[in-house]
Structure 1
Amino acid sequence: MTGPGKTVSWLVLLLAGAFEVGYALTVNGSQGFTRLGWSLVAVAFFLLTLFCLSVALKGIDVGLGYAVWAGLGAVGAALLGPVFFDEALTPARAFWLAVIIAGVVWLKLADRPEPEAAQG
């Protein structure tokens, strides 16, 4: 698939990644699903992330889509965990998060269609 459908799939995958970050943060805030408000929001984020991921995978290979989705969730949660919770972002963690981000970018670049050879 190329063109607008592929672009929409990638945008929906980014949305799924954002919902995954929301899920990770709210499931942490739910303290093992013992806090009702956080738990309900976590379930909502969980359903939204799975729905968007399933829609995105209609136009993106499952291995690529899942890797990007998981990477976005991991990086987003690691970057926002210190903002919302008492968590540390050490230089070593920041380095490895940068590696994940680079991997996600390279995966996206690898999904570009190959240019057609000039006919002679």
Structure 2
Amino acid sequence: MSWLYLAIAVICEIAVGISAGKAAGFTNFGWTIATLISGAIATFFLSLALLTFDVGVGYALWTSIAGVGIVIVGALFLGQRLDWRKALGIAIVIGAVVGLQLSGAA
């Protein structure tokens, strides 16, 4: 169940990143509300996942997977550029996440 909670937290954190970018410094009210609500939901589900995961490992998984997700969503839907350096960074992050999992993190 902790992986499900972590997945929900990651999806909501991706929504935070996208919403915050569109909130224009919190001057766009609708996107500001979306940022705050998705952030609260992400934090709630992260806290549920951390009942099972070590705090450091759970937080590292959450932030790294969400970061990769935001880059991919930006490239696919927001017209952001994905060059070989970003792809290499994504591969390194994925390798680190796999390494954490193989360490017996949860």
Shift of 1:105: 1.7
- Residue pair 2:9, 2:43 contacting (<8 A) in 1 also: yes
Matching residue of 1:99: 92
Distance 1:81 1:68, change over 3 A: same
Unaligned runs of 5+ in 1: 1-7, 114-120
TM-score norm. by structure 1 comes to 0.82
Aligned to 2:28: 35
User: Going by fraction, where is helix more abundant, 1 or 2?
Assistant: 2
Q: Percent identity?
A: 33
More divergent stretch after superposition (77-86 vs 92-101): 77-86
Long gaps (5+) in structure 2: none
RMSD of Structure 2 on Structure 1 (CA): 1.5
Which whole-Å CA distance do the structure 1 matches of 2:26 and 2:76 have between them?
21
Distance in 1 (CA, whole Å) between partners of 2:89 and 2:75 is 16
Bigger Cα Rg = 1
- Aligned mate of 1:58, from 36, 44, 51: 51
Aligned residues: 106
Query: Could you tell me the TM-score, scaled by structure 2's length?
Result: 0.92
Q: Aligned-pair distance for 1:108?
A: 1.4
Using the alignment, how far apart are the partners of 2:105 and 2:30 within structure 1?
A: 42
> Which residue matches 1:74?
67
Question: How far apart, CA to CA, are the structure 2 residues paired with 1:66 and 1:27?
Answer: 20
